[in-house]
Every structure is written in structure tokens, then in C-alpha cells.
A and B are shown apart, each in its own frame.
Chain A
Amino acid sequence: MSTHRDDFRNPLQRARGLGSGKTGTGHFWWQRVTAIFLVPLVAWLLGLLVSFVGADLATVQVAIARPWNAIALSLFAILLFWHAKLGIQVVIEDYVHTRGLEVALQLIVTLACALGALASLYAIGRIALLA
């Protein structure tokens, strides 16, 4: 309390207006939401990838271009990179104790994961529309 001596709000009011009081569970929640949807998608993806063994390019393109395959693969790419971003964020928070380096790494990881997802969506779109 000593640091808030000139603040007339009670602790609950401060918590509602500040920091983790508002969005503290957001990271936990979205990590679980993405995880839950990734479970069936990973099982499906493993089947799809195994079916590609020994297949030629045209076969792979036609399979990815099938409407629900393209849609499910797009959803998978979004959830995958989102989930990866949330996970790597915590690893950096835990192990990198130099503030500048930590912030720089968080920015790089965020950008890289966004680019990874966008590149995947672009590739899937291109395969689906041109195959």
C-alpha cells in the first residue's frame, strides 16, 4: 500500500484499471484455445503428410487444393504460428534477463510468426487457386 499513499482508489479499483487486472489471463486462455483446436488438426495433418510420401508434385498440389483440405490447412497454419508465438514468448521471458535483448527477441518472434502464418496462407491460396 505504501507506494499508493496518494491514491484514493481501493486495491480492487486499481486492479481493474491496471496491468494484469485486465488481460492477465489472455495468454493462458489463447494458448489453451489454440491447443484444443490443434489437437484434431495435428492428427489430421499427420495423416495428410504421410499420404504424401512418394507422391509427385501434381498429386500433392491437387490434394492441398481440395476445398476442405485448403481450409483446414489454413486454419492449422494460423493456430500453429499463434500457439508457437505464445510458447516462445514464455521461453524468452523465462531465460532472457537482459531487457533490451528480451524486447528485441519478442519483436522478432512476433514478426517471424506472423510472416510464417502469412506465407503459409499465401502458399495454400496459390496452390488452391492455381492447381
Chain B
Amino acid sequence: MAIRERPLSPHLQVYRWQITMTMSILHRASGVILSVGAFALACWLMAVAAGGASYLRAADLLASPLGSLLLFGFSLALVYHLLNGIRHLLWDAVMGFEIPEFYRSGWTVAVLTVLLTAAIWFVALQGGAA
């Protein structure tokens, strides 16, 4: 008998969109982005330690359009992963397990991510908080 492909169970496309599925995959995506960001941070620390030309190169890179775009992306991913991570930790503590609460906490994280990221960049572009 010829080997046939196993049938696949219904997948993403048969489900009505819900915020929970987007939050879930974005948590993973932001985690992967932040893992790259971790190495960027390590490189930046090495540049600060080396000082001189290394630091100037790092500072120039961060100030460039590409560097600024990456910094913004990292900040957005960091705030999202932080807030949604707290959401996950609350679930681990068996809190917020009713279906409406899943949606409410999901939208809360989404809105707070935008507000907090905007606030960070507002303060940063004012020339630093401290």
C-alpha cells in the first residue's frame, strides 16, 4: 500500500480570531527578538568597557536610523514581553482563568504596551529622565 500523508486536524484558519491567539504568538516572537536584543546589550556593554573608538562606533550605530529602529523595536518587544509575562505569571498563580478575564487582560496588556512604550520614548527624547 502506498504511504499517504496523514490527514491534518483543523488548524488556525478554521478558528474565529481572538486576541488570546495573537497575544500568545507575540509573546514568543517578542521573546525571540529580545534574545537578539540581549546580545546587542552585551555588545554595548563591551563597547562601554572598551571606551574610545569602540564606544563611538556603538553610539553612532545606535543613533543611526537603523539603530534607532532596532532600539524602538527592542523597547516595544521588552515592554510587551514584560507585561504579558506578568499576565503569564498571574495565570501560574491560578488567577484570571475565566474566559472574559483572558480577553480583558489581553486587551489591558495591548493598550498598556502602547502607552508605556510611548511614555518611555517621550521621556527619552526629552533628554533622559535622571
Contacts and interface: CB of A to CB of B under 8 A. Distances in A.
A42 B82 contact: yes
B45 A119 contact: yes
Interface string A85-128: 00110010000000000000000000011001101101110110
Contacts of A60: 48
Interface residues of A, number: 39
A109 B82 CA distance: 22
A39 interface: yes
B78 A42 contact: yes
A45 B59 CA distance: 18
A15 B42 CA distance: 41
A116 B39 contact: yes
A52 interface: yes
Contacts of B38: 80-81, 84, 113, 116
B86 interface: yes
Interface stretch (B12-20, B95-103, B122-130): B122-130
Given A39-B85, A52-B128, A53-B124, A46 B48 contact: no
A51 interface: yes
A53 B125 CA distance: 8
B111 interface: no
Contacts of A16: none
B77 to A, nearest CB: 11
Contacts of A116: 38-39, 42
Given A39-B85, A54-B128, A91 B32 contact: yes
Nearest to B79: A46
Contact of A120 (B32, B35, B42): B42
B72 interface: no
A77 B38 CA distance: 8
A36 to B, nearest CB: 7
Interface of B: 28, 31-32, 34-35, 38-39, 41-42, 45-46, 48-49, 51, 55, 59, 75, 78, 82, 85-86, 88-89, 92, 120, 123-125, 127-130
18 contacts: A35-B88, A52-B128, A57-B51, A57-B55, A64-B48, A77-B42, A80-B41, A84-B34, A84-B35, A87-B31, A113-B38, A116-B42, A117-B42, A119-B45, A120-B41, A122-B46, A127-B48, A127-B49
Given A43-B82, A77-B42, A123-B46, 4 more contacts: A38-B85, A50-B124, A51-B129, A53-B128
